[in-house]
Structure 1
Amino acid sequence: MSDLSDLRREYTAGGLSEAELPDTPWPLFERWMQQTCDAKLTDPTAMVVASVDERGQPFQRIVLLKRFDAQGFIFYTNLGSRKAAHLAANPRISLLFPWHALDRQVAVCGQVEQLSNTEVLKYFVTRPRDSQIAAWVSKQSSRISARQVLESKFMEIKQKFSKGEVPLPSFWGGYRIVPETIEFWQGGEHRLHDRFLYSKAMEGEDLWQIERLAP
């Protein structure tokens, strides 16, 4: 077995103080997201999405955040996927934004609500054409015999929709994660990290309690 116990570094990118915290988490998240984009990190909108199956087994995968506002965080996916099946049975979800290069993490816990067809279509028409076609090709999470199956299907669908717009698949949709807690983690020297937890104080209202957590 490989021993990784000596792999460590100091976190010196900077701290996070109470004085910097807004009353709601959204301005801070927006600032951190902008700084992540400005730093030109690879896939700055990538987030780990965790769901739980009927046996209580957690699953995680990387998904791209497409929009956020005071109502929540939005991503899109195949509604026949494993994650969609999990969320249909159990709408509770968690997100993690792992911005290691800036010594930062943001962890979100809450519940999902499925987006309307109107909201999904509004985003779908902005996707590159090949991405629209790819949405038709993959029965996400299902077993396939070879990559050639996907490539052949892609060419078939591309030919089918060679003229005109690519329609929105009925099995493709999106989710809004309505957060109950949002935790901001900023690495600190000597493992004395700064952690602040925003907890929703009242359902339906943008009121939050803020607590500092031990690192």
Structure 2
Amino acid sequence: MTSNHKRLEELQQQAKELAERIEQLKAEGAREVKQPRDNLLGRWARHEEYGHVLIACQHADERGGLFVAYPDDGFPDGADGRYANQRELTFPEQTTRPQDVPVGEAWLVDAQDRVRTEKDVVALKTKDDLWTSSGFLEWTDDEVELITPLIPALPHDTPETVTTEDDYGALPEGSIVAKPGGNPWVRMPYMWVQRADGADNSEMAGRTRHVLRYGWGAQPR
């Protein structure tokens, strides 16, 4: 085989690999980022009318309804809550690319390179085009698929559980409490709300619930 023939075959192979890569990138670009269906409790999303909202239930009902809470200066204590259809919400991972995430943010991600695949791992954006996960594994932007940002709650000294009327009364608006496997309650102005039900601190007292979020937490940018 002459050198020209060999070179031609190499170029043809490179062209084939390039074409396959282009098709792969097209497919990835066209792939729809599906909305999450479960584990929605405590996640932030964006609503066209209400702005940033905090989801106060584990999953949508049979009609797609979710109870959401959000800051609202029009109310005496600056907060409101209501039902919204999940189709009306946009989650951060639907509008954010790994390269757009600022350095210092932590996300739940899927990551894959030529050696390993990691599912549902916490990764920190440590510098431009570099993510670090547990075990000091490192990933580049194009090896990471975003799932959801990890938004820290406000610092607090509240116990992990609440039981008494004073315990419930000490939690600020935006706090979320729930029994294991039970529906969550959200602290709104003057009362606790669970779907269509409401209760004051005295009515909440007597049942021990876990504090899932203290206050509103940090809103996404």
Say yes or no: TM over 0.5.
no
| Structure number with bigger Rg | 2
Q: If the length of structure 2 is used for normalisation, what is the TM-score?
A: 0.27
Which structure has more relative contact order (CA 8 Å, sep 6+)? It is 1
> Structure 1 length normalisation: TM-score?
0.27
